[in-house]
């Protein structure tokens, strides 16, 4: 009986363990096969379910926006993160919030008055009862009244607790603000600019509409000059606040489709570029007059171009950015963002003149924006039009004399015009300003160089600062186009370079190289062109170039065929796209300023051809060396070097640049030419 589910006393018990397990397995298998059947035979249209869920989400979003619209604190027509920050006390209260606070305080005040009057009535009634009743009735009445009073008292306590809690929360917010402002060294400045203790009532007045634009400024000592010192602080704060201000990208129509725009933008920010592009394209097709939808499409194309490494897709993005501006009722902030990005992408593609036209349009639309004028100046510099760039920066400095970005660029232009002394204050003041775009190695480079040419030892202080800020590899090695991690030393031996065969070939055939060079000097002297990089303090220095940026000059090589044939065997030299191969002649009385080459990716070989006995020397970093006929000197010209030619006759050398030996084959193929 026990075996078949009975018991010793004849009564049945529940399912055994094995029976329970069997039923469990049957039910589980039924569930699994049911799920498989639903999926396999497509009994449920999941796409329809997802579409309905999506519609529900959009509808819910719109409903919520409608409900939360009453809390719109910044006047942009909807409830967003900025409004939430206001409600949480991150920003100063706006009109609507201060009005709500006033209404709450008013209702609390009325409630308090009502409670006090009720209390007085109860006391009066209590006194009357004591006079007109006997002891027993008085006892009973008292019990009743006590009950009533207790209830009222509890109510009063609760109401007062709420009131107290409200006061405490207001007080705590004020205390938090105060402690934060003390921590930051700031005080709140109201319409009347009072900095002492003020009552809560005055604080509420300060947060009214007329005080919305007021902000906190660094605390100033109470002195007669404090008014003068507050002004620049207010200005700097206003500028920083302006930079952080959230751009307004939606016009009235776009606000009505905000939920759909946000959904598409969310896809883009999550990196789902293709889906985002499809979403924005659908919005553009549905709402062709929507600037924000078209801007989102341009951004998605921009992102996709980067992902695909496609110039064609990037051009499509540029076209779409341009379309945004042509639409009606485009918010100013959206025009600025579209044109600025369009110009930037055009520059990336190397279409400098197209970028210049876009920047000109931007300046015409927003003539008071000096930042756009600064960008226009850079646009002119990129096409080599220093004259127009100079005019732009002069205009900027007339409008904003302390604009650091304009100063460093104006100083750079003056130095390029060889106005060395005039360039120094602009470069120096621009760097000292710390304005965005000024902390650039080029400006430290040119300021130091200008100071060196004026004989000012302050140059090395600026080089040191440039090194500390990561712009230079060292105080002496100041090239700007570098590959990190390459071995760095001023002077090299042939063995250290690994190019011993090239060095041996040059030294073995030095007379052949010399004779072909001298023949050109005698018959075709015009092939030697004056140095044009503004590196000479004085004298005469010319060069005859055979290879430039890895490209052979066929016409030049016709004049020195044996030399060129000799070099063809050494791709480390002829294929060096960051160097040159050339003859260099320097006449007596020449001095070459201390300078550095543009990159650490090459080494420079000097083969002596015609060297006077004395008077010619070269310094690299802190070591001087002399040339010898038929011998090769090797140095890294990314280190500071300087040349003196004080002999009585000319000096002729042959210069061969080679790739830095530690560069990989891949790097040699892909590094852009200089």
Q: Both tokens of residue 136?
A: 């027993």
> How much of the chain exceeds pLDDT 90, in percent?
62
Q: If pLDDT is split at 50, 70 and 90, which confidence band does 151 have?
A: very low
Average pLDDT over residues 140-158: 45
Q: Both tokens of residue 375?
A: 């960008």
> Rounded to a whole number, what is the largest CA-CA distance in the chain?
144
In this predicted structure, which of 17-26, 110-119, 236-245 has the lowest mean pLDDT? Answer: 236-245
**Strand 590-595 relative to strand 602-610, pairing:** unpaired
Token look-up 């066929």 returns: 554
Distances (CA, A) of 270 to 16, 32, 254, 303: 54, 35, 22, 12
**Closest C-alpha to 264, from 238, 243, 248, 282:** 282
Residue 643 Rama label (left phi>0; alpha psi -120 to 50; beta): beta
Flag whether pLDDT at 611 surpasses 80.
yes
Q: Answer whether 393's CB lies under 8 Å from 426's CB.
A: no
Phi, psi of 499 (to 5 degrees): -105, 45
Average pLDDT over residues 442-459: 96
Which residues are CB-neighbours of 404 under 8 A, at least 6 positions away?
Answer: 429, 430, 431, 432, 433, 434, 435, 437, 438
**Strand 580-586 relative to strand 529-530, pairing:** unpaired
The pLDDT value given to residue 492: 98
Residues 628 and 653: their CA atoms lie apart, in Å, by: 10
The pLDDT value given to residue 98: 52
The secondary element (H helix, E strand) that includes residue 186 is strand 186-187
Average pLDDT over residues 392-411: 97
Q: Answer whether 186's CB lies under 8 Å from 216's CB.
A: yes
Average pLDDT over residues 519-534: 90
DSSP for 381-397, written as a single string: HHTT-HHHHHHHHHHHH
Q: What are 360-376's pLDDT values in tens digits?
A: 999 999 999 999 999 99
The pLDDT value given to residue 648: 95
In this predicted structure, which of 421-430, 529-538, 569-578 has the lowest mean pLDDT? Answer: 529-538
In this predicted structure, which of 42-46, 353-357, 472-476, 626-630 has the lowest mean pLDDT? Answer: 42-46
Residues 303 and 309: their CA atoms lie apart, in Å, by: 10
Q: Answer whether 663's CB lies under 8 Å from 609's CB.
A: no
Residues 3 and 216: their CA atoms lie apart, in Å, by: 87
Flag whether pLDDT at 15 surpasses 70.
no
Q: Does the CA dihedral 36-41-43-45 come out positive or negative?
A: positive
What is the architecture of the domain spanning 290-469?
Answer: Alpha Horseshoe (1.25)
Q: Quick one: how far is CA 14 from the chain centroid? A: 73
Flag whether pLDDT at 4 surpasses 70.
no
Which residues are CB-neighbours of 15 under 8 A, at least 6 positions away?
Answer: 23
Distances (CA, A) of 264 to 78, 240, 259, 577: 19, 31, 9, 45
Q: If pLDDT is split at 50, 70 and 90, which confidence band does 473 have?
A: very high
Token look-up 């979003």 returns: 61
Residues 166 and 352: their CA atoms lie apart, in Å, by: 61
The pLDDT value given to residue 248: 93
In this predicted structure, which of 223-232, 233-242, 618-627, 630-639 has the lowest mean pLDDT? Answer: 223-232
Exposure letters 462-475 (e unless 16+ CB within 10 A, then b): bbebbbeeebbbeb
CA angle 35, 38, 41 (to 5 degrees): 140
Q: If pLDDT is split at 50, 70 and 90, which confidence band does 667 have?
A: very high
Regarding predicted confidence, which is higher, 615 or 234?
615
Flag whether pLDDT at 337 surpasses 80.
yes
Distances (CA, A) of 283 to 264, 278, 296, 316: 9, 9, 10, 17
- The most confident of the ranges 6-10, 526-530, 633-637 is 633-637
Token look-up 């041996």 returns: 504
Q: If pLDDT is split at 50, 70 and 90, which confidence band does 602 have?
A: very high
Q: Answer whether 584's CB lies under 8 Å from 517's CB.
A: no
Q: Answer whether 624's CB lies under 8 Å from 480's CB.
A: no
CB-hemisphere CA count at 13 Å for 526?
A: 0
Q: If pLDDT is split at 50, 70 and 90, which confidence band does 246 have?
A: confident
- If one counts every other C-beta atom within 10 angstroms of the C-beta of residue 120, the result is 10
Regarding predicted confidence, which is higher, 606 or 135?
606
**Which DSSP letter does residue 671 get?**
S
Average pLDDT over residues 145-164: 44
| Local structure of 569: helix, strand or coil | coil
The pLDDT value given to residue 436: 95
Q: What are 38-82's pLDDT values in tens digits?
A: 656 555 555 555 555 555 554 444 444 444 544 454 555 455 555
Regarding predicted confidence, which is higher, 169 or 594?
594
In this predicted structure, which of 199-203, 243-247, 352-356 has the lowest mean pLDDT? Answer: 199-203
Average pLDDT over residues 293-314: 96
Q: What are 548-557's pLDDT values in tens digits?
A: 999 999 999 9
Flag whether pLDDT at 145 surpasses 80.
no
State the SS3 of 429-451. Answer: HHHHHCCCCCCCHHHHHHHHHHH
Residues 141 and 130: their CA atoms lie apart, in Å, by: 9
> How much of the chain exceeds pLDDT 70, in percent?
66
Which residues are CB-neighbours of 458 under 8 A, at least 6 positions away?
Answer: 451
Look over the chain and give the mean of its residue pLDDT values, rounded to a whole number: 79
CATH superfamily of 500-670: B-lactam Antibiotic, Isopenicillin N Synthase; Chain (2.60.120.330)
Beta bridge partners of 644: 591, 617
Domain ranges of the chain: 290-469, 500-670
Flag whether pLDDT at 257 surpasses 70.
yes
């Amino acid at each position: 009986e026990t075996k078949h589910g009975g018991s010793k006393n004849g009564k049945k018990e529940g399912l055994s363990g094995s029976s329970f397990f069997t039923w469990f397995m049957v039910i589980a298998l039924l569930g699994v096969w049911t799920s498989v059947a639903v999926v396999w035979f497509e009994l449920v249209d999941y796409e329809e379910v997802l579409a309905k869920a999506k519609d529900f989400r959009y509808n819910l979003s719109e409903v919520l926006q409608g409900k939360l619209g009453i809390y719109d604190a910044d006047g942009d027509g909807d409830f967003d993160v900025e409004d939430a920050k206001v409600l949480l006390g991150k920003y100063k209260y706006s009109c609507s919030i201060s009005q709500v606070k006033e209404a709450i305080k008013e209702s609390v005040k009325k409630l308090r008055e009502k409670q006090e009057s009720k209390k007085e009535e109860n006391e009066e009634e209590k006194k009357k009862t004591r006079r007109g009743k006997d002891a027993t009735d008085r006892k009973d009445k008292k019990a009743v009244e006590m009950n009533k009073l207790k209830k009222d008292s509890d109510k009063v306590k609760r109401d007062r607790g709420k009131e107290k809690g409200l006061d405490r929360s207001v007080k705590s917010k004020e205390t938090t603000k105060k402690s934060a402002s003390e921590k930051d060294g700031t005080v709140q400045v109201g319409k009347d600019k009072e900095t002492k203790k003020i009552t809560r009532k005055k604080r509420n007045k300060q947060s009214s509409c007329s005080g919305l634009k007021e902000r906190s400024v660094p605390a100033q000592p109470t002195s007669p000059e404090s008014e003068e010192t507050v002004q620049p602080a207010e200005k700097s704060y206003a500028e920083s606040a302006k930079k952080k201000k959230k751009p307004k990208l939606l016009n009235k129509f776009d606000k009505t489709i905000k939920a759909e725009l946000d959904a598409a933008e969310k896809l883009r920010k999550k990196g789902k570029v293709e889906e985002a592009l499809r979403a924005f394209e659908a919005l553009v097709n549905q709402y062709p007059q929507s600037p924000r939808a078209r801007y989102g499409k341009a951004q998605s194309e921009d992102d996709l171009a980067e992902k695909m490494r496609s110039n064609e897709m990037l051009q499509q993005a540029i076209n779409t950015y341009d379309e945004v501006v042509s639409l009606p009722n485009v918010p100013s902030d959206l025009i600025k963002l579209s044109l600025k990005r369009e110009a930037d992408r055009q520059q990336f593609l190397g279409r400098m003149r197209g970028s210049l036209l876009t920047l000109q349009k931007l300046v015409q639309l927003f003539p008071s924006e000096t930042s756009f004028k600064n960008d226009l100046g850079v646009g002119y510099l990129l096409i080599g039009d220093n004259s127009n760039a100079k005019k732009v920066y002069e205009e900027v400095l007339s409008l904003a004399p302390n604009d650091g970005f304009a100063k460093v660029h104006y100083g750079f232009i003056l130095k390029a015009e060889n106005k060395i002394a005039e360039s120094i204050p602009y470069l120096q003041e621009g760097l000292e300003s710390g304005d965005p775009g000024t902390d650039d190695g080029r400006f430290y480079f040119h300021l130091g160089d200008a100071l060196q040419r004026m004989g000012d030892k302050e140059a090395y202080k600026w080089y040191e600062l440039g090194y500390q800020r990561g712009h230079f590899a060292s105080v002496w090695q100041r090239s700007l186009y570098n590959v990190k991690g390459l071995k760095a030393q001023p002077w090299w031996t042939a063995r250290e370079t690994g190019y011993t065969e090239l060095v041996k070939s040059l030294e073995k055939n030095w007379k052949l190289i010399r004779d072909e060079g001298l023949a050109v000097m005698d018959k075709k002297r015009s092939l030697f062109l004056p140095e044009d990089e503004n590196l000479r303090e004085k004298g005469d220095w010319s060069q005859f170039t055979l290879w430039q940026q890895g490209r052979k000059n066929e016409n030049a090589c016709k004049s020195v065929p044996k030399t060129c044939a000799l070099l063809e065997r050494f791709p480390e030299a002829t294929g060096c796209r960051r160097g040159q191969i050339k003859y260099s002649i320097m006449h007596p009385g020449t001095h070459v300023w201390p300078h550095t080459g543009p990159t650490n990716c090459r080494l420079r070989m000097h083969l002596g051809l015609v060297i006077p006995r004395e008077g010619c020397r070269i310094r690299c970093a802190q070591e001087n060396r002399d040339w010898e006929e038929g011998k090769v000197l090797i140095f890294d010209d990314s280190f500071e070097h300087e040349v003196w030619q004080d002999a009585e006759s000319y000096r002729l050398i042959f210069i061969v640049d080679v790739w830095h030996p530690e560069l990989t084959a891949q790097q040699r193929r892909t590094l852009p030419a200089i």
